[in-house]
């Protein structure tokens, strides 16, 4: 059966997440406007900085820091942030961002944007977020 547009783009976000360099969670994001992809991003260290996956070390994991806490210990840029950084600003207005993520054990991770990413998405004038939740369902946030 042919997937609907949300299923199609969330599947692409899943594939984008396979490039992530985080040892704890892998996220992918796709920004879409008028059913055309304008940008992708995955979580990982900034360009030129060693990635946790290459170093084989994650400070937050070693300290058992819960999800959503102590971001200052992490070099990574979130998938949503990278997608926004890589997109032309004029194309993001009114767009949709799709977010999918996986835990270390390959179960789905909660794809709802953190507070910082939420602010960046709003500031980019992206109109809607479609994300994969832990139970595999698609959730939606409209601004």
Q: Give the catalytic positions in this structure.
A: 80
- Our CA dihedral for 32, 38, 43, 47, rounded to 10 degrees, sits at -170
Main-chain dihedrals φ then ψ at residue 35, nearest 5 degrees: 65, 25
Whole-angstrom distance, CA of residue 9 vs CA of residue 66: 29
Nearest residue to 15 via CA among 95, 98, 82, 92? 98
91 exposed, middle or buried (CB, 10 Å; 0-12, 13-18, 19+)? middle
């Amino acid at each position: 059966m042919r997937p609907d547009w949300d299923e199609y783009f969330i599947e692409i976000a899943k594939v984008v997440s396979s490039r992530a360099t985080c040892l704890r969670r892998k996220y992918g994001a796709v920004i879409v406007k008028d059913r055309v992809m304008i940008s992708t991003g995955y979580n990982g260290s900034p360009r030129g900085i060693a990635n946790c996956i290459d170093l084989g070390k994650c400070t937050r994991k070693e300290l058992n820091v819960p999800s959503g806490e102590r971001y200052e210990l992490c070099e990574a840029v979130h998938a949503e942030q990278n997608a926004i950084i890589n997109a032309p600003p004029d194309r993001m207005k009114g767009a949709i961002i799709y977010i999918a993520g996986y835990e270390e054990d390959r179960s789905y991770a909660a794809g709802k944007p953190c507070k910082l990413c939420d602010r960046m998405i709003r500031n980019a004038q992206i109109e809607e977020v479609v994300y994969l939740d832990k139970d595999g369902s698609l959730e939606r946030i409209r601004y």
